[in-house]
Structure 1
Amino acid sequence: VALAKTLRKRVPDYASHIAFYNAGLTRTDRHRVEEAFRDGCLSCIVSTSAFGEGVNLPDIRHVVLYHMPFGAIEFNQMSGRAGRDGQPAVIHLLYSSRDARINERLLDCYAPERDELVTLYRALQTMWRSNRGKTGDDSFSASDIDIAQMCLAIDARTPVDERSVESGLGIFEELGFCRVSGFDDTRRIAMAENPGRVQLSRSIRYLEGLRSRMEFSAFRSWALDSCASDMLAKVNRPIVPRA
C-alpha cells in the first residue's frame, strides 16, 4: 500500500492507473482490480505474490521484484508472468542482500531452532506451574509478548522472538507437549505433566521449518549471484513436481 502511494505521488500523471492488491482486499475488490488491469484501466499493480495465480494475463511487459522471493518456485511463478504472449518483456530485480536478511529473520520466526524451542518449553513450564500453584487451574493464559519475556528471563543467551511463540506452540502441540485452545485473548495453554522424551523430527511443522531455511539458503545464493542468462533460463523452464 505504501509503495503504491509513493508511485502515485512520484508519477502523478499515472496516479489513477496505479493500484495495489493484497489479502486485505475483499474478494469483490480483488476481482475489480484484476478486471481493471486486464481491461487496460490500470497499468501498474503493486501486489503480493498472490496476484494472477492461475490467471493468464498475456500482455504484461514488465515484472518488478521489489523484494526477494522466498524460493525458486515463487521466483519462477512471479517472473514468468512477463511476456506470456511471446512479445518482448523485462523482469526487473530490485532486491538485495538486505532483503535476504529480512527473509531469513522471518523464516527464523516461523521456524524456531532447537535451542529456542528448549527455552520456550522451559518458559511455558514455568508459567504453567506458577499459575497452577496460585489458582489450581490446569491451564493458563498468556500473550506472545508475555511468553517471550519469560523466555528472556529464563535464558537471555537464547531470546525467543514473540513472533516465534505461536509457531513453537504449534510444534509442541503436535508432539503432545501441550494443548492450546481458543485464540488471542481467550487462548489457554495446558502443559503435559510428563510427556517423556520425544524427537523434534516427529513434528511435521518443525521439519517444514528446517526445509524452508535450507531451501532459502540455497536460493539466496543463486538469486544474488547468478548471471542474467542463467536466471532467464530458469524462468523459461517449466516447473515440474519434485520426485
Structure 2
Amino acid sequence: MKKMQAGKFIYHVAEPGEKTGKTVLLYHGWGGTAGSWQAYAEELAKQGHRAVVPEIAYNDSRNPVANPFEMETVQIYFWKAIIESIEEFGEFREALGVPESDIVLVGSSMGGFIASGIFARYPEIAGLASINGSGAFVLTEQLFRERQDRSPLRKEEAELLNGFDPMQQGAGTGAVLLINGEQDRTVPLEGHAAYYRHLLESRNTGYTDRKIVKGAGHQFTREMEQEVADWLAGIK
C-alpha cells in the first residue's frame, strides 16, 4: 500500500493493475492500524478493486490515545472516533475524488460501526459489509453498559448517539452484508440482528444478507474475508 495525505486526511491505497471493480474503503477496529488491512487491501487490488484504508481519529498517526484498551479510554474515545469518522466522510470522499456510487464500505469491529453510520447517511453508496460491528448504536451501547455494570445512558448521551444511529435513518439501496462470529464476546450480536431486521423492514430494494460464522470469535477470519470478496464480486 502507498501512504497518502490530503489535508488532515491520511490514508493508504492499494491500486489495481486495471480497475474493474469498486473503490473499497476499509475501516479497522478500535486500537488497530491501517497497516492491519495491508494484505487484504492488496488482495482486493488483485481482484480489480481500488482499496483505500483511512487512518481513523485517535488511532494510527491521527492523535493516537495512550493505552487504547484501558476501559476508561475506550469509554471516552470509542464513540468519538466513530462519530468523527462519520462526520468527516463527505470531506474525505471529496478528497478522494470518487462518486458515492463507486464506493463500497467494509469495516471490522469499530470499523463496522463507522461503515454502517456512513452508509445510512449517504444513500448512493454501492455497498456495506460490516464484520463484527453494529448498525444499532443506542442498543449496542446499552448492552455494553449492562455487561460492564455501568449506569444507563443519560438522555443527552442517547440523543447524541441517536443522531448517528443507522436505526434512526434511511438505508439506501446498496448491497449489505452483515457478518458475525458466533462466539464474539466483544460486540453483542444483537446489534447486527436488530439492524438486519431494520433493513429488511425499511428497504424495498437492495441485497441484504446476514451470516453467522460458526466457531469464530471477534476477528476477521479467512472465511469472512472470502465471504466479503465473493460479495464484492457481485456488486456492479
- Counting strand residues as a fraction of each chain, which structure ranks higher? 2
Give the TM-score taking structure 1 as reference length. 0.31
Bigger radius of gyration, 1 or 2? 1
